[in-house]
Structure 1
């Protein structure tokens, strides 16, 4: 197979050097160009177009968002945002995600060299995932307003429930959604289509800490429903969507006839924190047939096991179809394991949610 040709656009010489070294050591990946700003990138891309672009957002001469919009308009290409881990950087990065970037890798202002070395597996994995995205779907979304760590399962956070079923003496309904690569724009399409009267929603979107708050704030401004980054003990209420904070796991908990969330620390599960499997397992245990589970676009298999547990507990389960996914990884694995009752296009997911009322 041909290698994945990668271009790095970052004004930091440290980033260009270290990322170049880690890509040179990754099988099946080739560093095509490493340049300091988008104008230089445009000149190099006239010679050879990359398969994946790793892009900073704050650079001289042309900012990363302007460059990204130009790329998506001329020749849609998978772009990974490599952005500073700050609140300001998070807001800018959300604009980049809205413009068509597939995922974000966070970088700190201090300790950059050590951080990049420690995160080499994450970056290489993100590049391989980006190379597999459905570029046509990516363009459609944008047009709208090293050694892998040990892979833990949800057992690391919450043991299996066995055959027990949760008590069902409540009229409260809950919707649990899990997504990853391509999920930011997909969630925007789903949540903005929902009316104010809708079941309570809990969401895991794979995203680093600090970025989820900015993501939730952006959606809250666009949606009729309330969207917020979850805090420990938040209630799951009709008309409210809670997004798991980056760097934390989120679990559903039954409190009498009401549902709340626990936001906790813990190890990576399926190499993610937050993990979809952790959320789905808790929903299976505490909501059972009162729940709807939805798995959407994303790379890997996080959520597949948990969705099956939800289905076995009596919940309705839905997967986004391949045609509308940016990456048909997580839904495909969930279908393969038997956890999916129904597969629908992205445009129909809001109707599935409203049937849960």
Structure 2
């Protein structure tokens, strides 16, 4: 099956570069290009593309405003095309929060814009094409009064893994976390260029403090540690006095940072009440690690299919018998923060 792609970018040069990067892919067809939101809106009506690549800096209606309209009125898998420079990362973080599937850096760190990218854009498009928004029940962000009153003061740690659709989902989950939440570690599959901006965005909506994880940070209540990505895995260090461990290493379950690497580092250290949560994402990263946590006595939670952007990772965990609780997105915080989970 051919994946039909609409490229939206005000630069003719960038349109040509993106088209060239996709031209060798037998299963991908660029059906049209648009230079602004108005053109893109008309082409989406006429062509109904499977995936849209969207620049976030355009004249007229900017890409973020257009993305918000797309996700509200005509949900379509969108890959945001952004500069890897610092100036663009805040916008990229907002795009992921609005429901973009992923972000793609226009140029490498040296500013090159060749026609080759080792197939990365094509890979993102193939992943995005598997998403069917019409099968997804939207989650409504809400703060649960029960959650606020049922925090287990003896909960030592919450560990969360997510991938495709995870930034949007994490916003909803963390809104229900109180300022004095149990220490929480998050591995989200994300381009290293955007990790810091996503952590800052999550911090802006969370009562607890969301931090981009750094080596040897002590694990403390009221703090959420977001994996920085790149060439390092985030794991739990220490025995009794836990700390953030960032270590270089090979891909684990196809990813770096890996959810499995985090969960497996926690399983042998479990003392007291620990919670593992596996959320929306493609593939199976985290499933086996969640099983190891469950076998070690942790409370384990998987997001249900109806509220996932992609049900791959939670499905894999459920099929392994790793999930003690299967819950919709807007109930996960309640289960994670309550000993009644």
- State if a TM-score over 0.5 links the two structures: yes
1:227 alignment partner, one of 210, 228, 231 = 210
Counterpart of 1:214?
A: 197
Q: SS state of the match for residue 160, structure 2?
A: strand
Determine the structure 2 residue equivalent to 1:252. Answer: 236
Distance 2:208 2:256 in 1: 25
Deviation at 1:31, TM superposition (A): 1.4
Q: Which consecutive residues of structure 1, in runs of 5 or more, have no partner in the other structure?
A: 146-170
- The root-mean-square deviation of aligned C-alpha atoms, in Å, is 2.4
Which residue number corresponds to residue 105 of structure 2? 106
The answer to whether the 8 A contact 2:21-2:121 is kept is no
- CA change 1:90–1:346 in 2 (3 A) is same
How much does 1:254 deviate? 1.8
Match of 2:41 in 1: 42
Q: Which residue of 2 aligns with 1:325?
A: 308
Q: 1:17 & 1:234 partners in 2: Cα distance?
A: 45
Large movers: runs of 4+ above 6 Å: none
Paired positions, count:
327
Per-residue deviation at 1:137? 7.2
* Structure 2 gap ranges (5+): 143-153
Distance between the aligned counterparts of 1:54 and 1:81, measured in 2? 6
Partner of 1:167: none
The answer to whether residue 73 in structure 2 is matched with residue 93 in structure 1 is no
Deviations 1:23-43 (A, max 9, x none): 333343221113333333233
Aligned residues of 2:278 and 2:313 also touching (Cα < 8 A): yes
What is the distance in 2 between the residues matched to 1:8 and 1:267?
34
1:173 aligns to what? 156
Q: 1:126, CA displacement in angstroms? A: 2.0
Residue 172 of structure 1: how far off its partner (Å)? 6.2
Which runs of structure 2 are paired with 1:334-349 in the superposition (5 Å)? 334-349=317-332
In 2, the alpha carbon distance for the partners of 1:77 and 1:239 equals: 36
Cross-structure match for 1:303: 286
What is the match of residue 269 of structure 2? 286
Describe how 1:1-357 pairs up with structure 2 within 5 A: 2-108=1-107, 110-114=110-114, 117-120=116-119, 122-136=120-134, 140=138, 173-247=156-230, 248-255=232-239, 257-287=240-270, 290-355=273-338
TM-score (norm. length: structure 1): 0.84
